[in-house]
Structure 1
Amino acid sequence: MSAFLRYEQDDHVVTLTMDEPERRNPLTGNSAVSDFIEAIKRIENDPSVRAVILTGAGSAFSSGGNIKDMERQSSGDVSGIQIRQEYRQGIQRLAHALFNLEVPVIAAVNGAALGAGLDLACMCDIRIASVNAKFAESFAKIGIVPGDGGAWLLQRTIGLSRAAEMTFTAQVIDAQLALEWNLVSRVVPPEELLPTARNLALKIAANPPHAVRLAKRLMREAIHARLDTVLELSAAYQALSHQTVDHREAVAAFLEKREPVFKG
């Protein structure tokens, strides 16, 4: 579909593969952001898609920002106002679109996820890592800050203290420590990464899609909303859910002791 992002659909599962392995799948200085936005819109408008897997081609998941592009930004030839707009109209659009996509997204982290690459993984709902994966909130090493939402995303993923440690030191952690810190939920051998992600995606896709999408929206809202607000929203979503064909099918299948057939 694009120069950077491969879009492949098998039944109800879409696999998005960042496909610039020779450059370690950078997210700036190329078409990455526009390709992601296009893919996310396509997924949002396709009710047949029930789960998404995001991974990288080659040895890296994503190396984050393109250093050559940073060289241009630090040259003095580009104003601060222009750089601000580049972030707002660039990678920050990706953060907003991917984080708010209602279809569940599994990051299959095959290798290095550095800087914006780590933050990209944190925009996803579930992270599975190869034993070869490594992670770093590496912005401080090159004298910049997380410009893509990482300061918000990472602490909500692993907690404030560990997020601060990763951000302030910019040190690399391996897959095992990422598992201990709840940055990822599983660590598997490289050859099992995509099969494990697909098996999980199929388990998600087996459920009524409206229920999964609304549950994800509730979880997103619960991050920053008060309990009474989330309860009110839950009641509204539940009222919609009770009236769906898939809910009626689930109830009937349970009472009839058979497997349900969900049609979305």
Structure 2
Amino acid sequence: MAYENIILEKENNIAVITFNRPEAMNALNNQTRAEFAQAVADVAADDEIKVLILTGSGKAFVAGSDIKEFNKTTPLAAHNITRLGAMVEKLEKPVIAAVNGFCLGGGCEIAMGCDIIIASEKAKFGQPEINLGIIPGGGGTQRLQRLVGACRAKELIFTGDIIRAEEADRIGLVNRVVPMDELMPAAKEIAGKIASKSQAALKLAKQAINKGMQTSLEDGLDYEREMYSLSLTLEDKAEGVAAFLEKRKPEFKGR
């Protein structure tokens, strides 16, 4: 697929998807959704890519859905909105959101589907759907409460308020806030560190954490034990132990 509304770049085992409709604040129209879904699928199928970074061009990460297409929204389109965040969450590779600016509505929902969120000091977050007489439809009501708690999620969703990066950091919505010119270097530094680890173990860790967010502590612990047992059978486990004992850097194979 030829991409028009996003940019997909790959370098040193790291892929970067950039939402690229700066004239529309990177708002999600149907074409952008389709291109993004295809790009994530491309990353998933590329064994050389170990970490994915998402970011935006111009003044926004993604400033929500394209309002011009709202009257065309069908149940199928609504399903497609919901599945973008799920695609990122279910991707078997770590995903970092490098939020450069406005991260609203569907954009915030995509970011919350990521494993790590790094925000520039100019970033702003919110779920303003209530101002249009609707509610978040891309996972906002569920992921937001799991990240910041039900009371804060209700306040943000009920009021439609937009918060600055510092407030997002304070309530636990993002991992850290950095100056704008340090955003991509910080994201790539973390991505590089993660890319050096066992991809097979990372996959199991991500599955265990995500499962734990969706179930009881007891069931989560049972699932963690399953994933831990699987990790003990990995070739990477044998390599990691050998490298530690031999005082050298491990050479993980991702299996």
State TM-score, norm by structure 1: 0.91
Aligned counterpart for 2:194 among listed residues 181, 204, 209: 204
**Aligned partners of 1:188, 1:235: CA distance in 2, in Å?**
36
What does residue 151 of structure 1 align with? 141
Cα offsets for 1:24-60 (capped at 9, x unmatched): 11112x3122112212222222222221110001111
CA deviation profile, 1:210-253 (whole Å, cap 9, x unmatched)? 00011001111111223443344333333332222221111001
Alignment of 1:1-264 (within 5 A): 1-28=2-29, 30-70=30-70, 72-73=71-72, 83-88=74-79, 90-264=80-254
Identity of aligned residues (%): 40
Q: Shift of residue 68 of structure 1?
A: 0.8
Deviation at 1:170, TM superposition (A): 0.6
Q: Distance in 1 between matches of 2:248 and 2:144?
A: 42
Distance, in Å, in 2 between the alignment partners of 1:129 and 1:120 is 14
Alignment-mate amino acid for residue 86 of structure 1: A
CA distance in structure 1 between the aligned counterparts of 2:167 and 2:131, rounded to whole angstroms: 20
Aligned to 1:127, the other structure's residue is in SS state: strand
CA RMSD of aligned residues (A): 1.5
Q: Which runs of 4+ in 1 moved over 4 A?
A: none
Gaps of 5+ in 1: 74-81
Cα deviations by residue, 1:149-179 (Å, 9 ceiling, x for unpaired) = 2111111111111111111111111111111
- Per-residue CA deviations over 1:133-160 (Å, capped at 9, x if unaligned) read 1111101112111111211111111111
Q: Deviations over 1:63-120 (max 9, x none)?
A: 11111112x24xxxxxxxx7223212x2122122122112111110000011111111
For 1:31, what is the secondary structure of its paired residue? Answer: helix
Cα offsets for 1:112-134 (capped at 9, x unmatched): 01111111111111111111111
**Rg larger in 1 or in 2?**
1
Measure the CA separation in 2 of the matches of 1:234 and 1:187. Answer: 30
Check the 8 A contact 2:16/2:53 in 1, yes or no: yes
Q: Which runs of 5 or more residues in structure 2 are unaligned?
A: none
| Distance in 1 between residues matched to 2:28 and 2:103, nearest whole Å | 11
Question: Do the aligned residues in 1 keep the contact of 2:85 with 2:111 (CA within 8 Å)?
Answer: no
How far apart, CA to CA, are the structure 1 residues paired with 2:97 and 2:184? 10
Quick one: which amino acid aligns to residue 16 of structure 2?
T
Q: 1:114 to 1:233 in 2, by over 3 A?
A: same
1:19 CA displacement: 0.8
Instruction: Give the paired residue count.
Output: 253
Q: TM-score, normalised by structure 2?
A: 0.94
Partners of 2:44 and 2:165 lie apart in 1 by: 31
2:48 counterpart SS class = coil
